[in-house]
Structure formats: structure tokens, C-alpha cells
Amino acid sequence: PAYADFCRRLDHGERTAIDPYAGENPAEFFAVLLETFFMAPLRLWAEYPQVYDRLATFCGVDPAEGEARAIQEHWLANHKATP
């Protein structure tokens, strides 16, 4: 269902946070989503949370947790309250 949905979105000219090359075929879809899972996990989680959850289970890691923590730390470092 996710691949069909992604292709439908591309066919309708919708912009996605996932590289459009993923629409070439199911194998490329898997490859691009796996790359996105590790390189931009929150992006994948936002667009296809069920796919993200399955990849997290399959790979045994949750990279979004680390990305979210890094974003939070960056924000806090740049928005410190001045006394």
C-alpha cells in the first residue's frame, strides 16, 4: 500500500519529503526508504509511520530517537535564556 500511495502522489504532482526516484519500482522504493530511514528518519516517520515502524523492527534500531534528540540539543544550545 505505501508504494502504491507514493506512486499516486507522484502522479498527481505532489511534493514528497522522500526522493521521487523511489517511484521507479518496488525495489527502488525499498532502497530509498531504507536510506531515508537511516539518513532522515523523522522525514520517513512523518510520511509513512507504519513503514518506519516496520523498518525499526526489522533493523532493530530507532534512528528517529537520535535525530529528535540532536534537534532538541541543537535548539536548546541556540536558544539559551540569558540571565
Grid coordinates in use for 64?
Answer: 528517529
Its pTM stands at 0.76
pLDDT band at 83 (very low <50, low <70, confident <90, very high): low
The string of pLDDT tens digits covering residues 7-46 is 999 999 999 989 999 999 999 999 999 999 998 999 999 9
72 CB-side CA count, 13 A: 7
What is residue 79's predicted lDDT score, i.e. its pLDDT?
73
Which cell is 63 given?
Answer: 534512528
Percent over 70 (pLDDT), the chain: 92
* Radius of gyration of the chain measured on its C-alpha atoms: 15
Give the CA count within 13 Å in the CB-facing half-sphere of 8: 5
pLDDT of residue 68: 66
